[in-house]
Amino acid sequence: MRTFALACVFAVVAVVARADELPLAELRLPPGFHIATFARVANAREMTLGARGTLFVGSMGAGKVYAITPSADGTHAQSVHTIAENLRMPVGVAFKDGALYVSAVDRILRLDAIEDHLEDPPKPQVVTDRLPSDAAHGWRFIAFGPDGKLYVPIGAPCNICDKPGYAKLTRMNADGSDAQDIAFGIRNTVGFDWQPGTRTLWFTDNGRDRLGDDVPADELDRLGRIGEHFGYPYCHQGDIADPEFGKGHPCKDYVAPALKLGAHVASLGMRFYAGTQFPAEYKNSIFIAEHGSWNRSSKVGYRLVNVRVNGAKVTGSDVFISGWLRADQSVWGRPADVLPMPDGALLVSDDLAGAIYRITWSKP
């Protein structure tokens, strides 16, 4: 299983150097929407905003964390600083009380007063070093919840296995204390957010491999209460028993997904859109970055999808942006995360093209 994880990392590293001009004209968006390059940073993954509007970006194979100062009008990057490097898959970034928190597989690091020190960043302080060190699904999306706690996933260290202490979502205080398990049966979530109004946690989860091209689906899940179990490794997509671990573990015993997202699409970053720039039908809907398949006979994913919800129910979904995957099966971009901005624009990171895009809307 370690071979699988490293293959994914190396595939990303090998292609971060791209030409300055990206083929954005190939991307297909709904009428009235526009996309432009906001910044170029190698291997861009999770994004978060600082209190002063600094955009922080993690990476995976690049081992770096970036700080981007937007232009006065917010349309593009004014400056880009590397504020940490030589870290182990620092995918996750989260901001709280002036400090930037960074995931680095077996530890969470903190850069204090970071917006005061973009050109002379402080030495990272260790928040916790008590996380598993496995490379497989060891890259971690992190975020602070409405409760002020830092949410940290512990992915399964394999494609399929039943190993205690893994496949779960945890949370802890900002200083690393009082770590708690809050959800189980989650193979690998690399994106989660809290629903506006209800503060309910929703998250993406990557389905297992090697059951075929078309099953099981990745999931969009909703945590209704602390301690719920979402099936892995016993049940996949809510209705498929695992051939090795499913016996004696009926799917009815686990929480079914709110939405099946498709097999091997690699659903990563997701956020609720609470802005007002986009048309009203997008208000409080979910945007999901589909990184794209790596081992399917015919590629899928490599797109942005939009999911509409009403309370606890999904009411509809469709493709929002496609075109990173060409008809000839060649790929020039892999969306990794999405981030709504204060002005209502939507940022999208792309670790393959080494880019961050800015999506806006104006009346056609």
pTM of the shown model: 0.94
CA distances from 129 to 37, 169, 175 (A): 36, 17, 12
Q: What is the CATH number of the domain that holds 29?
A: 2.120.10.30
* Predicted pLDDT of residue 14: 31
Question: Hey, what long-range contacts does 20-25 have (CB within 8 A, 24 or more apart)?
Answer: 22/332, 22/333, 22/353, 22/355, 23/332, 24/357
Sign of CA dihedral 128, 129, 131, 136: positive
3-state SS, residue 270: strand
Is 144 within 8 Å of 150 (Cβ atoms)?
Answer: yes
Q: Which domain holds residue 92?
A: 2-361
Cβ count near 98 (within 10 Å):
14
* Predicted pLDDT of residue 216: 98
124 prior amide bond cis, ω within 30: no
pLDDT tens per residue, range 279-331: 999 999 999 999 999 999 999 999 999 999 999 999 999 999 999 999 999 99
Is 151 within 8 Å of 144 (Cβ atoms)?
Answer: yes
* Predicted pLDDT of residue 364: 86
* Predicted pLDDT of residue 349: 98
Q: Which residues of the chain have a pLDDT value below 70?
A: 1-20
Rounded Cα gap, residues 175 and 35, in angstroms: 38
Residue 186 sits at φ, ψ, to 5 deg, of: -115, 110
Rounded Cα gap, residues 27 and 160, in angstroms: 35
**Chain-centre distance of CA 35, in angstroms?**
20
* Predicted pLDDT of residue 20: 66
* Predicted pLDDT of residue 201: 98
Domain count, the chain: 1
